[in-house]
Amino acid sequence: MRIAGRVKTVLYLLLCFLLVSLGIIWWSFFTTSGSNVSLGVLQNRMHNLEYTYRSGNLASGIMLDDLEWQLKNKTRLLAKEIELYWDPSCWRGKSLCLSTVKANTLRIVLPDGSSHENPITLASLNLPFSIEAKQLSIEELVIESNEKSPVFLNNIHFSGSLHASRLTADKLFFDWQTFHVNLNGQMNFHNNYPVKVVARFDSIDQTKSLPIKSQWHFSGDLLKLDLSGGFSKPYTATASGTYSLLDRNLPANIALKWDQATWPIDSADPIAAFADGDLLIHGDWPDYRLDGDMRITGNNIPVTNAELSGSLNTNRISMTPLKLNTIGGYLDVTGVLKWRDGISWHSELDANDLWPNLYWPFFKGFVDGTARFNGRSQNGQTQFDLTEINATGSYAGQQISLGGNTSLYTDGSWQLDNMEAASEENTITANGSIGAESNLKLDFSLNSPEDFLHDIVGDLHGTLQIDGNINSPDISGSASSSSLVYLDTSLRNTTVTGVLRSLGEDESDIRIQMERVHIGDRIISNTDASVNGSLSDHLIRLSTETAPLYLESMHTIGSFDEHRNWSGKIDNFSGKLADYPFSLKDSVTATWISEQQTFAFQPHCWSIEFSSLCVIESALVGRNGSINFKLDELNLAAVDALTPEHIGIDGTLNSKGQVTWQPTKAPSIAVQSLLSDARISITDEKTAETLRLQIETAALDITTRRNTVTARLNMTERNIGKIASKASIYTRNNLYPVSGTLSLEDGKLQWLQQYFPQLTELSGKVSADGKIGGLLLKPHFKGLVNVKDASVQSPQLPMDLSNIDLSIAIDKNQATMTGDAASGDALVAIGGRGELTESGWQSDLQLKADNLAIEHDIVKNARVSTDLTLMMNPNGINVGGSINVKRANIIVTKLGSGGIPVSSDVVIVDAKAAQKPRNIKGKRQIRTTIDVILGRHVHFNGYGLDADLLGDFRITLNAQRPPELRGDIRVIDGNYRSYGQDLVIRDGRISFVGPLEQAVLNVEAVREVDNIMAGLRINGSLGYPKASLFSEPAMPEEEILSYIVLGRQLDFGNEDETMDDSQLLANAALFMGIRNGQSLSRNIASTFGIDDFTLSSRGSGDETQVVVSGRLNNRLLVRYGLGVFNSISTLFVRYDLAEKLYLETTQGFAEGLEKAVDLYYSFDF
């Protein structure tokens, strides 16, 4: 019993102990007070742990107000507002299942790094149990260090587990600075903590900061962390490198590459593109080094190669510098780009030797200079500031400077402060703002505007003020210029003044005055234009002078509606067309339809002197249009001044019709016109030829149907005849094919004579009938042209033609000619061909005749057989071929330029001009080159020679030169006559080598008296003949000359006969050019006491004379002239009354010559 009792007691005690123990355990773990006591015991044992208990129990979870725990390595953990909840059921599996862990703030204070332990040594961790955390959240985690700036992590959320030494993060995300970080992976707490993690970084608010999206893969351990990944936003880029978290300097070596990036980000129309980028991030925290390069392009941005050198941390990039190699030079940018609180930058620009013309050809020059470039982009607002601008350069060879300050804002507005662009003679200054609300003033003084404005020269001065809403600002100002030239337009003495309020929506006033406007060859003078009012109600005044059009007055009142349609009234429009006044008879209502781009006019009339032009119905003028008009009795002289200078027009025109057009359809035309009593002249500017038409009547009807334009013309021209034509043009084909008919009746050839002034007669009738074909710009004619009863005469032609009947068959560009004509009593056969080419036309005619009569200045009574060719073209007529002369008389009555040529010591003023061939501008010339064969019955009479000729030569006739003959002619039988003596031609030959006076003579003429043969041998040319005397037997020249002239021996025994004989012989000697003639004459003159005896010649042609002169005393001078080619002789007697006063009498010794007595007084000036 006692044993049993003891056992019971023991069991009871054990039960009590168990109950007490369970009670204590329950109290310690399941009650707040017990858990607080239990934690106090733990705190007493862990002297480095301090906390403030709030509530909860150890069985399910506790809440602490704060907690501080210092680890063995002196790292301190400080937490506030902590909540710990766990699942006790996990304890059985040696696991701690944390359902919730929360902390408002967790501070990790790293120990003082004075030990300089590097790399940091991490303690190993190998728990005997597992920890599983379903939800761990910390609102703010701060990692502090005395050597580094604190690191802040916010909104931390974690779920994962810790098994022994391996930490697995199923989900870990937090906010770091401007990034939201999302991690998952594993880490082992031994050695250097190997890791394998995937991390994503996203910008927290992509509207306030630079939008970034990136993903990274981390492997290795915390001492050498290998990373790879890249960015998908703002641009696509790839990166790889290494990073060390255990090294206190956090060294990194990361390479970043991208193909294409743009600015602005995600813009459909980016300003710039950054391509082929390479960026190396290396060095230690907090400022990593940056080195890289890329290529920059964009709209209005030249290709630029950028080289970056600087530093990087999580808040900014420093550029030291960014070097931009572009347009022949470089731009250095030094500064800082920050992005933590938005994006901001501060930089200095230094431009060196930039040549903008390499990209912008119009900019002829270079740029150097410096500026500060600052800006900020935050909350969707961006501002660019370009300040302290100090730039110099050249443009178009002129030195230009730029200075001032400017700012650009996100809304597109600009602020300009003393912005000034200046060159040596130009200044442009801008002050104020321009944007949604503007207040900008521009002052400009341009004495050489070409420095700034390409191709503009002159001067321009003025002020411009822009105020108010940029969509409808008030613009006011004034500008003036004494001269302004742009390309072929020039302005002289121009002023512009006025104010444009709300872009014309409100009352405005603008005036433009120009003294002279020169556009091409058109001059506009005294222009005065003004606009008063608003778009909804305004008045336009205009006056100008544009020779030959003078606008004296134009008044227009109108308004614009909200659709920009204009409606108004033109109540005055008057002026002069040349000397003919014109005006709008009554006011007319007009409308501008903006959507259709068309003007609409109500019916109205214009008066032009005594004529009128009326728009009968409402008219539309624009892309679509329709005009129904009537023109009555228009004097074409009024519009003559509007035609080109080489076209003249006069007459009366009546016309009526309707014209309608649309952009997608061929125009519809129905016009009838009647021209009467018209005179039209058209002058070819190259040839100066003038075509003159005298139109009695011309009726022209033009109609269109579908794609065909049909024109009918019936015209009567006083000279050409009656022309009737109908032509149709197919407009759908861009080459415009033409088809139709053409006929001519009662045509006259006389009007063509104006183009051939060498023709003394051109007459005949012409008619034509055929069809028109081809293209509008290359039409052709196929038909027949008939010439009847025509006559052609000209001294330049070898024969005259009459009764010409010619038929010309034309087929496109080819013509065949057949016909005949009469020349004297002979019949001439005509044939040939013609051709029309792009360079002109040409025609070849063959003329064949037998026993044809030919008359010319030197050829008379000729009968020939001909085979001639006439080659005609726009330049004239070339006559060629051959003439077989059966009989002819060639009679030469005068020299080409006088009997005695001009001595070589005589100077002719403007000799070149005198020798220059005469050329009649614009007149077609006739040139003749004919081979002439002389038959047995050809006789020559000229220059004292009368003989029969035999041989052949070529005769050339050209209106610009004297006739030329080339060939060799023999003298068969004849005489040489001089001074009444007929010398028999013993031997003779004439060689023609050009102009007649250059013909070469080789003639011997003799006179036989009493078995004495005295002869004259003539050599040289007709212009310069040389004569010599010979005799058989030989005798002195005086004796030979006596036998030739007197027919006997010279006798000095009889004084009277000697004097008469001497005068005859002296004259003969001079005429013949005998070598000793002058000495012989002087000997004879001295015998009779005559002083200053001279032999000379005067006159030309038939009037050539040999003159003998001498003084009988100091006051009396006697001259005697003897005709060379006629028997006329003249006696001159001069008696000096005083030094400059003398009396002269003239006596001619021939029938019909008058006597004269003259008194002369001479003086010099």
Confidence class for position 431, pLDDT limits 50, 70, 90: very high
Q: Which residues pair with 712 in a beta bridge?
A: 701, 726
Query: CA of 650: how far to CAs of 444, 637, 684, 693, 905, in Å?
Result: 52, 5, 19, 10, 57
pLDDT at 953 exceeding the cut of 50: yes
- pLDDT for residue 228: 92
Rounded mean pLDDT of 997-1019? 83
Using CA atoms, how far apart are residues 737 and 779, in angstroms rounded to an integer?
8
Provide the whole-model pTM: 0.48
Residue whose token pair is 């893969």: 217
Bridge partners, 185 (sequence order):
169, 197
Q: Which is more confident, 134 or 1024?
A: 134
- Cβ proximity of 122 and 222 under 8 Å: yes
pLDDT digits (tens, 9 = 90+) for 1057-1110: 544 555 555 455 545 544 444 444 555 555 555 666 666 656 654 565 667 777
Task: Identify which has the larger pLDDT, 678 or 925.
Answer: 678
The whole-angstrom separation of Cα 519 and Cα 525 is 11
Residue 40: which residues within 8 A CB-CB, separation 6 or more?
Answer: none
pLDDT classification of 33: cutoffs 50, 70, 90: low
The Cα–Cα gap between 1013 and 996 comes to 31
pLDDT, position 1051 = 64
pLDDT of residue 179 exceeding 90, the answer is no
Q: What is the per-residue pLDDT across 697-740, written as a single tens digit (0 to 9) for each?
A: 999 999 988 788 899 999 998 888 899 999 998 887 788 899 99
pLDDT of the residue at 35: 63
DSSP, collapsed to helix, strand or coil, labels residue 504 as: helix
Average pLDDT over residues 982-1006: 82
Strand partners, 393: 367, 400
| Pairwise pLDDT comparison (961 vs 917), residue with the higher score | 961
Inform me whether the pLDDT recorded for 60 exceeds 80: no
> What average pLDDT does the segment 581-603 reach?
87
Q: How far apart are the C-alpha atoms of 841 and 837, rounded to whole Å? A: 6
Report the pLDDT averaged over residues 182-205: 87
Residue 1077: predicted pLDDT: 44
**Residue-wise pLDDT tens digits, 563-586:** 888 888 888 888 887 778 888 888
Q: Average pLDDT over the chain, rounded to whole?
A: 79
Q: Report the C-alpha gap between 1008 and 1047 in whole angstroms.
A: 9
- Could you tell me the CA-to-CA distances from 570 to 101, 125, 560, 601, 876 in Å, in that order? 90, 101, 15, 10, 57
pLDDT in tens, 464-486: 999 988 888 999 999 999 999 88
**Residue 1135's closest CA among 1108, 1107, 1109, 1113?**
1113
Q: What is the DSSP letter of 595?
A: T
In what helix (H) or strand (E) does residue 425 lie, and over which residues does it extend?
Answer: none
Three-state DSSP at 442 gives: strand
Between the CA of residue 705 and those of 414, 646, 666, 670, 779, what are the distances in Å? 60, 35, 9, 9, 21
* Residue 1012 scores a pLDDT above 50: yes
The candidate with the shortest Cα–Cα distance to 893, out of 859, 866, 924, is 859
The pLDDT confidence band at residue 492, using thresholds 50, 70 and 90, is: very high
Where does the pLDDT of residue 672 fall: very low under 50, low under 70, confident under 90, or very high at 90 and above? very high
φ, ψ dihedrals at 618, nearest 5°: -55, 135
Is 626 or 540 the better-scoring residue by pLDDT? 626
Q: What are the structure tokens assigned to 571, written together?
A: 């109540």
Strands 301-312 and 316-326: antiparallel
Residue 922: per-residue pLDDT: 47
Distances (CA, A) of 255 to 226, 242, 339: 12, 9, 21
* Cβ–Cβ < 8 Å for 547, 530: no
Give the 3-state secondary structure of residue 755.
Answer: helix
What own/partner pairs with CB < 8 Å and gap ≥ 24 does 1106-1110 have? 1106/1067, 1106/1070, 1106/1071, 1108/1063, 1108/1066, 1108/1067, 1108/1070, 1108/1081, 1110/1085
Task: Look at residue 493 in the predicted model and tell me its pLDDT.
Answer: 92
Q: Mind listing the pLDDT tens digit for each residue in 822-841? A: 887 788 888 889 887 777 77
Mean pLDDT of 523-536: 84
Query: What ranges make up the beta strands (E) of 360-413?
Result: 367-378, 381-395, 398-409
Q: Is 651 exposed, middle or buried (0-12, 13-18, 19+ CB in 10 A)?
A: buried
Q: Are 726 and 769 in contact (CB under 8 A)?
A: no
pLDDT at 525 over 50: yes
Burial of 994 (0-12, 13-18, 19+ CB in 10 A): middle
User: What is the three-class DSSP state of 413?
Assistant: coil
Find out whether 1046 and 1061 touch, Cβ atoms under 8 Å: yes
Tell me if residue 177 falls in helix, strand or coil: coil
Q: Structure tokens of 804?
A: 């010409």
CB of 526 within 8 A of CB of 546?
A: no
Return the percentage of the chain with pLDDT > 90, whole number. 12
Axis crossing angle, helix 1055-1072 with helix 1077-1087, rounded to the nearest 10:
150
Nearest in space to 1112 (alpha carbons), one of 1086, 1133, 1090, 1081? 1090
Q: Would you say 220 and 226 are in contact if contact means Cβ atoms under 8 Å apart?
A: yes
Average pLDDT of 121-138? 79
Asked if residue 1052 lies in contact with residue 1038, where contact means CB atoms within 8 angstroms, the answer is no
Cα angle 219, 223, 224; round to 5: 45
B/e letters for 833-845, b = 16+ CB within 10 Å, e = fewer, are ebebeeeeeebbb
pLDDT digits (tens, 9 = 90+) for 605-641: 988 888 899 999 888 888 888 999 999 988 888 777 7
Checking if the pLDDT of 189 tops 70, the result is yes
| SS3 per-residue string spanning 1139-1164 | CCEEEEEEEEECCCCCCEEEEEECCC
Residue 925 has a pLDDT of 74
Helices (H) and strands (E) in the chain — how many of each? 7, 68
Cβ neighbours around 825 below 10 Å, total: 8
When mean pLDDT is compared over 55-69, 199-213, 605-619, the highest value belongs to: 605-619
Inform me whether the pLDDT recorded for 653 exceeds 80: yes
Instruction: Return the pLDDT at 478.
Output: 93
Report yes or no: 1065 and 1052 within 8 Å, Cβ to Cβ.
no
